[in-house]
Structure 1
Amino acid sequence: MNVPLRDPNIVMKLSRLGSFHQSKLSFLRSFLKEFKDWDYKRDLFELNEHGYGIAVYSFKKKNRVYSLICFANELDENERSDRVIATKWDAAFTLFDGVPAKQDIERLKNEVPKQEFGRLSFKELTLSRANKSVRIFNHVVESLSKGVQPDRELLDKVGYLYRTTAVYGSGKFGLADRFRIKDRKEIYGPFRLEMMLVYLVRQFTFDQVNHVAKNKNPKKAVKLDPEICRNLGIGNSTGLGMAPFIVNHPTLLNNWISARETSLKKIREIKNISNEEIELFLGCLKKSIKNITSWNTESEYQIKKIKSLLSDLNKFIMYLDKEFNFKQDFAFNEMYLDLEKNYCEECIEYVVSMMMEPFDDIVTPLIQEMSSEEGKYFNIPTERTVAELKAILENKYSEILNIDFSKKENNLNFWFISKNKEEPRLANRFDENGADLEQPLAIARDVKKLYDLLSVSKNSWTIAKFLSTNNELRHVVRRAFIVEKFPYSEIQDNTIGQEIMPIDMLRLKLSFFGALKFDPRSDKWLRICMFQGAPLPEQLKNYDEHWVYN
C-alpha cells in the first residue's frame, strides 16, 4: 500500500501548523537520546553563600567534551528584565567546546555576562542568559532551608525556577560558525547544542537553589526532592522575534515538516501492528491526558483550544477502546482517515505526534535529515524561463494566487523591526506609520505580485532577463525555485492578513523544539517550559524514552 504524503496546501496552513505538538522528532528529545550514553559531570561549583559565582558542567565521550560555563550574578530587582534589550541578568551561560582552561574562564567571566556587548571566540558554541522566577526561587530556598519540600501545587503552576530570554549560536557575537562543527555526528539534529545548554542550565538551577538553602540553614536544610526536580523545566517567553525564522529558512522548515510527514506516511503504510506497538501507542495517548489537564493558561483563545482538544481526545480514546480494530490491515491508516473526518485540527496533529511513539526504526533515521545546508539552494537558476516559473507558482501557490490583495483585510498588517526593542513586530499599516520599513515577510502578497508581472512578460524570457527589470522580487523568485524542490518550505497562508494569528508561527517552531504546554499572553507572545518531566543527568543512562507522558 502506498499512502501519499499529505498535501502542503493542508499541512502548511497556519491553523494546522499552530496545532502541532512535540513528538519523537522534537529537538530536546532527540538531544537526550543522542547524549544518554555520554558521561555527565559537575566540574566546578564556586558559588558564595548567596549563590553568586561560577559553575562548570560537562558531557564527555571518548575525546569529545562539551562544557557549560555558568556565571551567576547579583542583580537588583529594578534591573531584572526579560526583554532582549536588557543588559543585566541573574545568570549568563556559554557552551564551551572542550575543557575550559583557567584563562578561558577568566576571559569569559568578563565577556559572557555582557552577552551581545561582549566578544566570544570560536571556542564558544552557544550563549544564553536567564532570570529567576524570584517568587518561586525564594519559596524553594525558604522551604528547603527549614527542612521541608516546597509547595508542589505552586511549583506546578509555574514549572521552573529560571526562564531564559535568548539562546544564541551559529557565529553570533563571535561564537563558532556552524561550518566548524556541522560534521560532528552527535549534533546532526537541529539546535542540538542549544538544547544541551538549556538542559544543563536546568541542572544548575537545582544545584544553586540547594546551595543557597544549605548556606541559609546548614543544620536543617534538605535538598530539593529529585521527583520535584524532574517536574521542573526551564521557562521561556517567546515573542514575534521567532516568527521570521520560519519564513527566512525555507529549506530547514521543509526538512522539519518533511520528517514529520514522512513518519506519518510510513506509519500509515504498516500492514500489521504488533500487540506491543498497540499497547505503547494507547499507553502514551491515555497517560498524555494528564499533560492537557495540567495545562495552565489564562488565554481565552488557548483555553478554547484545550477544551476542544480534551473533548476530542476523550471521544477518540473511547472510540479506540470500544469500536476500533487494531488487528485490521493498515490500522493506523484507517485511524488517521477517521481522525481527518471527525476531529479538530489540534486533535489530529496531537495524535499524529503520538503515532510515532512505538516506531523508533521509522523516526530515528529521519532525525538525521532535519538539518539543511541552505546555502546550496540560494542561487537562482537564471537560465530557466518565465513560462517555467509561472507553472511553478500555479502548481505550488494555487490558493495564494486567489487572494485579492487590493482588499484592505488582506493587506492589513506589515512586519518591521522595532527600533526600541530591536525585535520584529507586526503593525496595522492603515493605523500606524512605518510601512516604508516593512520587512520582506509578506510572501503571499509578493508571490501574487510576481505572478501578475510574469503574466504580462514573454514566456520565452529567461529569469535573468525578467529580473533585470524586476529585481525587487528576487527574494520571492528564489523561494519559488526552492518550493519546487521542497514542497513543505512555504507557509500556504497570508502572513499580513486580518486573520493572522502570529502565535501559530511561534507554536510551530516551539513544537519542534519540544515545548509541552503553550501559554499565550496575547496573539503575539507566549510562555513555555522546556525539559519539564525530563530525566535528570544522573538518570540519563537508563531513562524511559517516553518520559513526556509519565
Structure 2
Amino acid sequence: MLVQLRDPNVIMKLSRLGSFHQSRLSFLRSFLDEFKDWEYKNDLFNLDEEGFGTAIYSFKKKQRVYSLVCFANKISDNERSDRVIATKWDAAFTLHDGIPSKEDIERLKNEVPKQEVGRLSYKELTLSRANKSVRVFNHVVDSLSKGQQPDLDLLTKVGYLYRTTAVYGSGKFGLADRIRLKNREEINGPFRLEMMLVYLVRQFTFDQVNHVAKFKNPKTAVKLDKNICKNLGIGNSTGLGMAPFIVNHPTLLNNWIMSREIALKEIREIKEASNQEIKIFKESLISSIKNITSWNTDSEYQQKKINSLLKNVQKFLNFIEKEFNFEIDYPFNEIYLWLEQNACEECIEYVVSMMLEPFDRIIKPLISKMSSDEDQYFTIPTHRTVEDLRNIIENRYPDILKINFEKQENQKNFWFISKNKEEPRYADRFEENGSELEQPLAIARDIKKLHEVLLISKNSLTIDKFLIENSDLRHVVRRAFIIEKFPYSEIQDNTIGKEVIPIDMLRLKLSFFGALKFDPRSDKWLRICMFQGAPLPTDLKNFDQQWVYNS
C-alpha cells in the first residue's frame, strides 16, 4: 500500500504547526544518542562556599574535545531578570572548541559574563546564560544541608533549578562561524552544539546545589538523589526572537517537517507491526499522560489546549484498548485515519510523535537529512519565465492567494527589530508607530503582491528582466522557486493577520528542539523545560530511548 505525504497546505498552517510535540526526531534526543559513547568529564570545579566561581565539563572522543566553561556569579535579587534586556545573570556559559588553556579561561572569565556586550573568539562555539529558580534552588540547598531530599511536589511543579534566557551560536559576538564546523560528522545535525551546552549546564546545576549544601552544613549534608536529578531539566524562557528563524530558513524548515512526514508515511505503510513495536507505542502513549497532566500554566489559552489534548488522548486510548485490533493489515494507517476523523489537531500531532517511537530503522536515516546547506538554494534561476513563476505560486500557495489584504484584519500587525536589543518584535500597524521599519516577514502578503504583478506581466518575460522592474519582490521570487523543490518550506498562513498567535511559531521550533511543558505567559512568550527525564552524563552509555515518557 502506498500512502501519500500529507498536504503542505494543511500541515503548514500555524494552528497545526503550533500543535507539534517533541519526538524521536527532536534534536536533544538525537544528540544524546549520538554522544552516548563519548567520554564525559568534570575537568574543573572551582567554586567558593556560596557556589560562585568557575567549572569546566567536557565530552571527548579520539582527538575531538568540546568543553563547557561555566562562570557562576553573585548578583542581587533586583538584578535577576529573564528579559533580554538583562545585563547580569546567575551563571554564564560558553562551549569551547578543545581544552581551554589558563589564558583562555582568564579571557573568557572577563568576556562570557558580559554576554552580548562581550566578545568571544573562533575557539568558542556557543554562548548562553541562565538564572536560578531562586525558590527551588534555595529549598533544595536547605533540604540537602539538613540531610533530607527536597519536596518532590515542588520540584515536579517547576521542573528545573535554572532556566536559560538565550543560547547563541553561528558567529554571533565573535563565536565561530558555522562554516568552520559544518563538515564535522559528530555535529552534523541541527543545533548539536546548543543541545550539548544546555545538557552540560543541567549537570552543573546539580553539582552546584550539592556543593553549596555541603558547605552550608558539612556534617549533615547529602547529595541530591540521582533519580531526582534525572527528573529535573533546564528551564527556558523563549520570546519572539525565535519566531523569524522559521521564516528565514525555508529549506531547513522543509527538511525538519519533511523528515517527520516521511517517517509518518513509512510507518503508515507498514503492513504488519511486531509485538515489540506495538508495546513501545502503547507504553509511550500511556506513560505520556503523566507528562500532559504535570504541565503547570496560568495561561487560560494553554489550559484549554491541555484539557482538550488530554480529553482527546484519553478518547484515543479508549479506542485502541477496547475497539482496535493491531493484527489487521496496516494498523498504523488505520490509527492515523481514525485520528483525522475523531481527534483535534493537537491530539493528531501528539499521537504522530508517539508513532515514531518504535521505529529506529525509519527514524535514524532521516535524522541525518535534517540539516540544510542553504546557500545552494539562494540563487534565483533568472532564465525561468513569468509563466513558470506564476504557475508555482498558484500550485503552492492556493490558500494564500485567497486572502484579501485590503482588509485591515489581514494586515493588522507588523514585525520589526528593536533598536535597543536588536531583537524581533511584533506590533499593531494601526495603533503603534514604526511600520515603515517593517521586516520582510509578511510572506503571505508579499506572495499575493507578487502574484498580482505577475498577472499583468508578459508570460515569456524572463525573471532577470522581471526583477529589473520589481526588485522589491526579489525575496519572495526566491522563496517561490525554493518551495517548488521544498514543499514544506513555507508557513501557509498569514503571519501579520489579526488571528495569528505568535507562540504557534515558537512551539513549532521548540518541538523540534525537544521541549516539554509549554507554559505561555502571553501570546508572545513562554517557558519550557528541556532534558527533563534525560539520563545523566554518567549514564549515557546505556539508556532507555523512551526516557522522555518515563520521567
TM-score normalised by length of structure 2 = 0.99
- 1:8-157 equivalent positions in 2, closer than 5 A: 8-157=8-157
Tell me by how many angstroms 1:85 deviates. Answer: 2.5
Q: Is 19-28 or 316-325 further displaced after alignment?
A: 316-325
Cross-structure match for 1:185:
185
Contact 1:243 1:502 in 2 (8 A): yes
Cross-structure match for 1:461:
461
- 1:362-401 equivalent positions in 2, closer than 5 A: 362-401=362-401
Matched position secondary structure for 2:494? coil
Q: Is 117-126 or 400-409 further displaced after alignment?
A: 117-126
Contact 1:85 1:422 in 2 (8 A): no
* Matches of 1:218 and 1:258, distance apart in 2: 54
CA deviations on 1:287-337 (whole Å, 9 max, x unpaired) are 111101111111111111111111111111111011111111111111111
Tell me by how many angstroms 1:112 deviates. Answer: 1.0
Report whether the alignment pairs 1:197 with 2:197: yes
Report whether the alignment pairs 1:165 with 2:165: yes
Tell me by how many angstroms 1:102 deviates. Answer: 1.2
Cross-structure match for 1:501:
501
Tell me by how many angstroms 1:230 deviates. Answer: 1.0
* Matches of 2:128 and 2:294, distance apart in 1: 29
1:112 partner letter: V
CA deviations on 1:434-470 (whole Å, 9 max, x unpaired) are 1101111000000000000010111111111111111
* Matches of 1:524 and 1:516, distance apart in 2: 18
* Matches of 1:150 and 1:195, distance apart in 2: 27
Cross-structure match for 2:236:
236
**Displaced runs of 4+ in structure 1, greater than 6 A?**
none
* Matches of 2:183 and 2:318, distance apart in 1: 47
Could you tell me which runs of 5 or more consecutive residues in structure 1 were left unpaired when the two chains were aligned.
none
* Matches of 1:104 and 1:461, distance apart in 2: 58
- 1:479-494 equivalent positions in 2, closer than 5 A: 479-494=479-494
* Matches of 2:79 and 2:311, distance apart in 1: 44
2:311 partner letter: S
Q: How many residues in Structure 1 have an aligned counterpart in Structure 2?
A: 550
Tell me by how many angstroms 1:194 deviates. Answer: 0.3
CA deviations on 1:248-300 (whole Å, 9 max, x unpaired) are 00000000000000000000111111111111111111111110111111111
* Matches of 1:223 and 1:78, distance apart in 2: 30
Tell me by how many angstroms 1:229 deviates. Answer: 0.8
* Matches of 2:502 and 2:454, distance apart in 1: 30
Matched position secondary structure for 2:363? helix
Q: Is 111-120 or 158-167 further displaced after alignment?
A: 111-120
* Matches of 2:193 and 2:185, distance apart in 1: 12
* Matches of 1:376 and 1:422, distance apart in 2: 28
Matched position secondary structure for 1:261? helix
Tell me by how many angstroms 1:38 deviates. Answer: 0.9
1:181 partner letter: L
* Matches of 2:424 and 2:541, distance apart in 1: 41
Cross-structure match for 2:425:
425
* Matches of 1:39 and 1:101, distance apart in 2: 20
1:470 partner letter: N
Q: Is 114-123 or 476-485 further displaced after alignment?
A: 114-123
Tell me by how many angstroms 1:122 deviates. Answer: 1.2
* Matches of 1:199 and 1:467, distance apart in 2: 47
Matched position secondary structure for 2:426? strand
2:346 partner letter: E
Matched position secondary structure for 2:541? helix
* Matches of 1:424 and 1:157, distance apart in 2: 31
Tell me by how many angstroms 1:422 deviates. Answer: 3.2
Tell me by how many angstroms 1:428 deviates. Answer: 1.1
* Matches of 1:311 and 1:77, distance apart in 2: 41
* Matches of 1:413 and 1:169, distance apart in 2: 29
Cross-structure match for 1:253:
253
Tell me by how many angstroms 1:77 deviates. Answer: 1.6
* Matches of 1:297 and 1:83, distance apart in 2: 19
Cross-structure match for 1:319:
319
2:163 partner letter: R
Cross-structure match for 2:519:
519
Cross-structure match for 1:175:
175
CA deviations on 1:383-433 (whole Å, 9 max, x unpaired) are 110000000000000110010000111111111112244321111111111
Cross-structure match for 2:407:
407
Matched position secondary structure for 2:517? coil
* Matches of 1:436 and 1:120, distance apart in 2: 34
Cross-structure match for 1:222:
222
Tell me by how many angstroms 1:539 deviates. Answer: 1.1
Q: Is 85-94 or 449-458 further displaced after alignment?
A: 85-94
Could you tell me which runs of 5 or more consecutive residues in structure 2 were left unpaired when the two chains were aligned.
none
Cross-structure match for 1:299:
299
* Matches of 1:324 and 1:197, distance apart in 2: 43
Cross-structure match for 1:342:
342
2:258 partner letter: S
1:333 partner letter: N
* Matches of 1:202 and 1:215, distance apart in 2: 21
CA deviations on 1:83-134 (whole Å, 9 max, x unpaired) are 2222211111111111111111111111111111211111111111111111
CA deviations on 1:21-59 (whole Å, 9 max, x unpaired) are 000000000000001111111010000001011100011
* Matches of 2:348 and 2:81, distance apart in 1: 38
Cross-structure match for 1:290:
290
Report whether the alignment pairs 1:534 with 2:534: yes
* Matches of 2:100 and 2:510, distance apart in 1: 31
Contact 1:385 1:461 in 2 (8 A): yes
Matched position secondary structure for 2:469? coil
1:549 partner letter: Y
Tell me by how many angstroms 1:150 deviates. Answer: 1.1
* Matches of 2:522 and 2:120, distance apart in 1: 35
1:387 partner letter: E
Cross-structure match for 1:447:
447
1:65 partner letter: V
* Matches of 2:470 and 2:87, distance apart in 1: 42
* Matches of 1:127 and 1:415, distance apart in 2: 26
Contact 1:60 1:66 in 2 (8 A): yes
1:113 partner letter: P
Contact 1:31 1:196 in 2 (8 A): yes
* Matches of 1:197 and 1:315, distance apart in 2: 39
Matched position secondary structure for 1:542? coil
Cross-structure match for 2:263:
263
1:92 partner letter: A
